[in-house]
Chain A
């Protein structure tokens, strides 16, 4: 199928590091997106990976392994404002995005 799997919920402490994993079907793969979404708001683009490896952007990093159908989003120096849902989405060869259900990240002081 076209399942995108990511954990439903994660909890982390302010100032710490958290890694959110995402696995996906590898056929017809055209890239992997990560989005942040606060409740009641539209998703905000975080990263787009199409090649293997780690890409860093400030406190956020995204990693991709195409052969394994695996990606993760790494958040460092967590802040309370990072509490949100993090959505993993696979872009297929028809430029359709297949979305995961999202990971709700809860940051505790």
Chain B
């Protein structure tokens, strides 16, 4: 298994500011992902955080708005830049351990962001 911690757990931010969310895993993992879940909607994958290289973003998400770092196999950050109220959401770090049949996916506790 993998234990994931996220900081901060929640924050209230002003429009136009930026927030960096940290994700720490207690073991080396195969892959790390960043998701968000807006109120009343399903989980949406933002990007896959690649160790030592640029993240892979999903359609509708760009690096300038959501820069991601992954300096090593157990840590990643997601920055929500130039925030607007539409960015209010729960942001989730997720990891995949193992490969193939042995794979498991785990989620962090989430960061609840409110933008005023």
Given A42-B92, A42-B109, A42-B110, A102 contacting B42 (CB threshold 8 A): yes
Measured in the bound complex, the distance between the Cα atoms of B92 and A31 in whole Å is 21
Asked if residues B105 and A45 are in contact (CB atoms below 8 Å), the reply is yes
Which bucket holds chain B's interface residue count? Answer: 20 to 34
Q: How far is the CB of B96 from chain A (nearest CB, A)?
A: 6
Distance (whole angstroms) from the CB of A38 to the closest CB of chain B: 12
| B57 sits at the interface (CB 8 A) | no
Q: How far is the CA of A103 from the CA of B110 in the complex (A)?
A: 21
Main SS class of interface, B: strand
Q: Of B30, B45, B90, B92, which is within 8 A of A96 by CB?
A: B45
A45–B103 touching, CB < 8 Å: no
**Beta-carbon contact of A95 and B107 below 8 Å:** no
Judge whether A50 and B105 touch: CB under 8 Å.
Answer: no
Q: A97 at interface (Cβ–Cβ under 8 A)? A: yes
A87 at the interface (CB under 8 A from B): yes
Contact: B42 with A101, CB < 8 Å? yes
Report how far A87 CA is from B43 CA in the complex, Å. 9
A87 to B92, CA, bound (A): 15
Most buried by B among A30, A31, A42, A48: A42
Q: Looking across the interface, which residue of chain A has its beta carbon closest to that of B109?
A: A42
Tell whether, in the assembled complex, residue B104 and residue A45 are in contact, meaning their CB atoms are under 8 Å apart. Answer: yes
**Across the interface, do B105 and A100 meet the contact criterion of CB distance under 8 Å?**
no
Q: Is B96 a contact partner of A95 (Cβ separation < 8 A)?
A: yes
A11 CB to closest chain B CB (Å) equals: 19
- Which B-chain residue is minimally distant from A51 (CB atoms)? B101
Which 10 A-B pairs rank lowest in CB-CB distance, beginning with the nearest?
A: A42-B107, A42-B110, A101-B42, A99-B43, A50-B101, A99-B42, A95-B31, A43-B107, A102-B42, A95-B96
Q: List 10 A-B contacts (CB under 8 A).
A: A33-B105, A42-B107, A43-B43, A45-B105, A51-B101, A87-B43, A91-B103, A95-B31, A95-B103, A97-B105
